[in-house]
Amino acid sequence: MADADATAWPRMSLSEAQALLCAPGQRFEMETVSVRGVPTRAWKNAPPNLRALVELSRAHGDRLATILEEDRVSFEAQYRAIAALARALEARGIGKGDRVATAMRNLPEWVVSFFAITSLGAIAVPLNAWWTGPELEYGLKDSGATLLIADAPRWERIAPFRGALPDLETVIVARADSAPEGTEALEAIIGTPNDWTSLPDDSLPAVPLDTDDDATIFYTSGTTGAPKGALGTHRNLVTNILSGGYNAARSFLRRGEAPPAPEPKVFLTVIPLFHVTACSATLMGAMATGHTLIFMRKWDAVEAMGIIERERVNITGGVPTIAWQLLEHPDRAKFDLSSLEAIAYGGAPSAPELVRRIREEFGALPGNGWGMTETMATVTGISAEDYLHRPDSAGPAVPVADLEIRADDGVTVLPVGTVGELWSRGPMIVRGYWNKPEATAQTFIDGWVRTGDLARLDDEGFLFIVDRAKDVIIRGGENIYSAEVENVLYAHPAVTDAALIGLPHKTLGEEPAAVVHLAPGERATEAELQDWVRARLAPFKVPVRIAFVPETLPRNANGKILKRELKALFA
């Protein structure tokens, strides 16, 4: 695909592209609907709910839906497994509004479980597969999940806490040598992935579903207190299908080309499905369009390049880390990566240099976007020449979304180019936080979500994230909430003061580092405190460096630690 002539690009303004793509009768036509009493622009042609999306996906027939090593699952086989598991869950008493948790790495069984749950009208609770036992226990207890579908390693972490989970009635375990005591084997219900093609041709259970029914609880930690479950709806998830498609179509018009009809691609999906980026922004579109999703047991750049060559992968990415490792690996020239058309990512800061190198060295189009768990992923998107010209932007909002930059009062809308807090609204904004009315009232206001991100908009509506008002570090796409790690450090008997900060990292975006003040007469080493955190939190949250200071940490008049001053300790 040729780069646009700098003097001839863009061939079309954003407003002209929107007028063409969203005209009556077109694929991206919009309509105004009432969402929780708020008039909201929505995609007219989005599937009405996730069960309808599953039915739609069956039309892709023998095309491969998922690949994991020797497991190769067609859309028809996947549909049969979803229907069989949905009926099995229904037989075990699962119905509309019940919470069903999943705890597993990226597996074909994850996809089947997710859609079996949501097709029933139950609420899927995808738990972070990197969480420790106590963190998984919290998610199960907070959500009130009555049934859990887990892979064997995750169940080993959870099993010691089952006695503290009175709501958890049924546990189904996948990929165990035999069903652990007190559980059922998923394989006894639907067989192994390569068996799914021979399952009975049954329909999905007939359960009335509304577009605005609850569908998911994705956990997102706050800067203080325990993780919060973002309560998403069917509308939130299906919105992403057309939002992603719109962003792609717009890039063709900007170049002066007619957008091609949607066609199936092959994705190497290395980010976890328990994140909205993979589940909402990737999996939903794959079900609608017939994309093949390839999973890896564990990320490895050489293995990934082998997969790209062998399976003729068209799209990969997820977080900037992936792109950097592919670009800079010394064995890259040994592999044919010419099938790559796009490397897209979000969820972490990226260097403008990365955008340029993806285009120059892979011949692929870079892509990025902005969203958060509370927006069920995609609100903005940027790719192709737009991204090459604005490598520090996250792109403009999709037509069904609105962005505003507001002052500290949360009301005053600031002028173009002014930095303030980013607010967003649209059909992708989740209902609120599960069982946390006060946090919901503070964050979700009249259809808007206050994001906690500091940002600005340019005169064309392109979004530029400047900083995060929320005290969060993003390491390779994984959110690390400072207060959570700081609280663990404070619990160590030698520590009296602690702060977590983010250190820039070329490929991960940021890494966590801690500054600690010890109590008089107490001693602790860096390794000791790292082991202390590692025993209590997921490994990616462990500080990579710890600096010790003789005095308590600097604070402002409100008692807030002045973290920017602490970064000099790691220079």
Compute CA distances 498 → 221, 381, 530, 563, whole Å: 19, 37, 13, 11
Cβ(513)–Cβ(500) under 8 Å? yes
Token pair listed for 26 = 């077109």
| Superfamily of domain 472-570 in the CATH hierarchy | ANL, C-terminal domain (3.30.300.30)
What class has domain 75-209?
alpha beta
- The topology under which CATH files domain 14-46+232-468 is Rossmann fold (3.40.50)
Backbone φ and ψ for 349, nearest 5 degrees, come out as -60, 145
Among the listed residues 315, 272, 305, the one whose alpha carbon sits nearest the alpha carbon of residue 477 = 272
Strand partners, 515: 499, 547
Q: Half-sphere exposure (CA, 13 Å, Cβ side) for 176?
A: 22
Q: CA–CA separation, 283 vs 200, rounded Å? A: 25
Domain boundaries, the chain: 14-46+232-468, 75-209, 472-570
Token pair listed for 539 = 């490994």
DSSP codes joined into one string, 348-410: S---HHHHHHIIIII-PEEEEEEEEGGGTEEEEEEEHHHHHH-TT--BPBPTT-EEEEE-TTS
Q: What is the pLDDT of residue 471?
A: 72
Q: CA–CA separation, 157 vs 179, rounded Å? A: 15
Q: What is the pLDDT of residue 177?
A: 93
Q: Over its length of 571 residues, how does the chain's per-residue pLDDT go in tens digits? A: 444 455 688 999 999 999 999 999 999 999 999 999 999 999 999 999 999 999 999 999 999 999 999 999 999 999 999 999 999 999 999 999 999 999 999 999 999 999 999 999 999 999 999 999 999 999 999 999 999 999 999 999 999 999 999 999 999 999 999 999 999 999 999 999 999 999 999 999 999 999 999 999 999 854 455 789 999 999 999 999 999 999 999 999 999 999 999 999 999 999 899 999 999 999 999 999 999 999 999 889 999 999 999 999 999 988 777 888 898 888 999 999 999 999 998 755 566 778 888 999 999 999 999 999 999 999 999 999 999 999 889 999 999 999 999 998 999 999 999 989 999 999 999 999 999 999 999 999 999 999 988 899 999 999 998 866 667 788 988 888 787 888 889 889 898 888 999 999 988 889 999 999 998 888 999 999 999 999 999 999 999 999 999 988 887 544 567 888 898 899 8
Among the listed residues 384, 332, 324, the one whose alpha carbon sits nearest the alpha carbon of residue 353 = 324
* Distance separating the N- and C-terminal Cα atoms of the chain: 43
14-46+232-468 and 75-209: same fold? yes
